[in-house]
Structure 1
Amino acid sequence: MQVFSLATFRRVAALALLSVGLAIGAAQAQSTAPLSAAGQAAVDDVISKAADDAADAAIAANVHERFVSRFPGAPVTDVRATPYGLYEVNLGGDLVYTDEAVRFVLDGTLIDAETRRDVTRARKEELSRIAFDDLPLALALKQVKGKGERRIAIFEDPNCGYCKQFRRTLEEVDNLTVHTFLLPILSPDSHVKVRDVWCSKSREKTWDDWMLRGKVPPAATCDDVGGEVVALAQKLMVRGTPAIFFDDGSRANGALSLDAFKTRLDAAAQAAPKADARK
């Protein structure tokens, strides 16, 4: 990738946008009703914004190039300007920040001092959103509580203590459908338990017996889905358990408290498509 100066890029952008202006002028010449002052101002605003956006994109491309040159092999997937005078560099889901010259790099959490908003966490949540209906739910256990109108999907390891803690929290929530992806990542025994649960006659009951009551799943053999779930988790950048996906595509990492879970659940239910619209 060639690195252009901002001045050079503005000249290139201006030439590209000139054709847009000529096309608009030609259209006006053929029209019996020329653009009003307000209409012309709107066209000028569009052209100006396009030029600014193109210039910003060029700067981000330059930052991308400089960052990779300083950190060879860095998995940079995107670079974008922030309202804080820094550039956000996406490293496959991990975020760092740098200046335009890439002289300094901030590897940590960016906090908005006025609002106390965790900018980094909010951005990561935005980037990690999914389309819930695109999840391969056939690979998951399914448990319906009450009407089951609200939905979540969870990635859990059978040897995850926080997952067991969250399972007890779920016991306090009604009107919920829970899709559980059995993710064997913590120990070799995890895969054994996932296989035994998946191959049991009553998967959901066997899972709850283990997670809530400590009853070891009976040994069983079949073609389990552990490998497919591991691949899915990697695709979704799930790096620990429990990982909770809500109906609106947002996610939470770790065992939420009951109040925090209910708050997220209600917010997701408001934002997610209604059941009738999903059919």
Structure 2
Amino acid sequence: MKLRFVAATVACAVGMVGGNVWAQSQSATVSAAVLEQAKKRFETEFNGIVIDEVSPTPFQDILELRLGNDVLYTNPNVDFVLQGSLVDVKTRTDLTAQRIEELNRVDFAQLPLDNAIKMVKGDGSQKIAVFEDPNCIYCKRLHQTLDEIDNITVYSFLFPILTPDSRTKSEHVWCADDRAATWSAWMKDNKKPAEKTCDTPIDAILEFGMKLGVQGTPAIFFEDGSRANGWLPADQLKARLADAAKNLEK
């Protein structure tokens, strides 16, 4: 019971702070030889698992092991392996969540925006890219939320992963004479797109999204490269857009 109380207290208290994951807490000094030793020991103990990077953390004798966009923790001798959240108690910062967000950042300018449906509201100065399934309830809710956001450009990537019908609807939307109007009419008013076929970039989008680790919809990417997995209410979406704008100014 006490452990559950501590876990719940930590979950309520911690948060994420923007910027480099170790910027707010000085990393412990660890030599390159020690980092390499930990890498070799882990890969010896867990044959077949390759570590992409070993990094120091702000805490003595705690090292971060990066496997793709996932992180684990160990000590220099690899006496243990820990999977879970590393929390800085002093700052109440979930360093693991912060680090994973950093690893998941993308170069917004490198997104294949020509393969997205572009919708502009107002001066379009704020930008997001969203991977969406036409049968995703929370994607539809996001479109309702976007009605409360001014001056935004939305790039919608058709990402049909829920049902076979999702693929059919996505093809019909992409092949419509006015993709943006057809997409909006379906997502906001449930107006079914007319049946029409053509060549589509859907397979390429699916492959690209999987490479980015998109596993559900909506997946929202902001102009500073940060992302949000899932629907955001208007106040949170506005806050994330403001944060992205500040990060771009740095």
Would you call these one fold, judging by a TM-score over 0.5?
A: yes
Query: Which range moves more in the overlay, 62-71 or 218-227?
Result: 62-71
Aligned-partner SS, 1:89? strand
Distance 1:174 1:92, change over 3 A: same
| 4+ residue runs over 6 A deviation | none
Is 1:148 the counterpart of 2:124 in the alignment?
yes
Is 1:135 the counterpart of 2:117 in the alignment?
no
Match of 2:10 in 1: none
Match of 2:203 in 1: 227
Q: CA deviation at 1:273?
A: 5.8
The one-letter code sitting in structure 2 at the alignment partner of 1:63 is A
Q: 1 CA distance for matches of 2:148 and 2:137?
A: 18
Q: 2 CA distance for matches of 1:198 and 1:112?
A: 47
Q: CA deviation at 1:182?
A: 0.9
Match of 1:241 in 2: 217
Normalising by the residue count of structure 1, what TM-score does the alignment of the two structures yield? 0.75
Matches within 5 A, 1:99-248: 99-248=75-224
Match of 1:84 in 2: 59
Q: 2 CA distance for matches of 1:272 and 1:238?
A: 23
The one-letter code sitting in structure 2 at the alignment partner of 1:258 is A
Q: CA deviation at 1:76?
A: 2.5
Higher relative contact order (CA 8 A, sep 6+): 2
Q: Which runs of 5+ in 2 are unaligned?
A: 1-27
Match of 1:58 in 2: 33
Q: Which has the larger radius of gyration?
A: 1
The one-letter code sitting in structure 2 at the alignment partner of 1:74 is I
Higher helix share: 1
1:75–1:92 contact (8 Å) kept in structure 2 = no
Q: 2 CA distance for matches of 1:64 and 1:210?
A: 51
How many correspondences in the alignment? Answer: 222
Q: 1 CA distance for matches of 2:75 and 2:212?
A: 29
Distance 1:240 1:175, change over 3 A: same
Q: CA deviation at 1:148?
A: 0.5
Q: Which runs of 5+ in 1 are unaligned?
A: 1-51, 275-279
Q: CA deviation at 1:130?
A: 1.6
Q: CA deviation at 1:137?
A: 0.6
Q: 2 CA distance for matches of 1:273 and 1:198?
A: 35
Normalising by the residue count of structure 2, what TM-score does the alignment of the two structures yield? 0.83
1:163–1:242 contact (8 Å) kept in structure 2 = yes
CA RMSD of aligned residues (A): 1.9
Question: 1:76-104 deviations in whole A, cap 9, x for unaligned?
Answer: 32221111231111121111111222221
The one-letter code sitting in structure 2 at the alignment partner of 1:128 is N
Match of 1:29 in 2: none
State the identity %. Answer: 48
